[in-house]
Amino acid sequence: MDITAVGTKGTLHVDGFVIPHEEKEAAFSAASQSGFDEFVTCWVPSPSRHIVTTDLPQEVLMVREFARLVGAIKNGAKPEKKWPTLSRKTQIVLDAVKASIAKGFESIDIAD
């Protein structure tokens, strides 16, 4: 499944959002401050395409990171502050996608 998020400042398109097409590679496109060319036939500037490669599948990396975090806490470290923020922002986007589908694919405003 692909996902596209469109906002007032740009767009983000993720290929293989739920299950990646490739085990060790994921791709996404991003654009900001884009508009149309003079003849309204293409975006200017074009979205940039990014490919993220790994040595291991995403599922393995997620389990590895979770184990690293748990091990660090067991050894006296404080929980990392970034994970609650990242997971909450991800959930807000997914809730907006679900709400959009439920409302017949209407646009949903997301306030941070």
Residue 78 has pLDDT above 70, yes or no: yes
Q: How many domains does the chain have?
A: 2
Whether residues 15 and 35 share a domain: the answer is: yes
What's this model's pTM, rounded to 2 decimal places? Answer: 0.58
The residue type found at 29 is S
Whether residues 47 and 78 share a domain: the answer is: no
In a domain, 112, yes or no: no
Alpha helices (H) in 13-108, listed in sequence order: 58-74, 82-102
Share of the chain above pLDDT 70, in %: 99
Residue 49 has pLDDT above 90, yes or no: yes
Q: How far apart are CA 72 and CA 65, in angstroms?
A: 11
Which residues lie closer than 8 Å to 67 by C-beta, 6 or more apart? none
Whether residues 16 and 47 share a domain: the answer is: yes
Whether residues 62 and 85 share a domain: the answer is: yes
Q: Identify the domain containing residue 11 by its residue range.
A: 1-55
In a domain, 111, yes or no: no
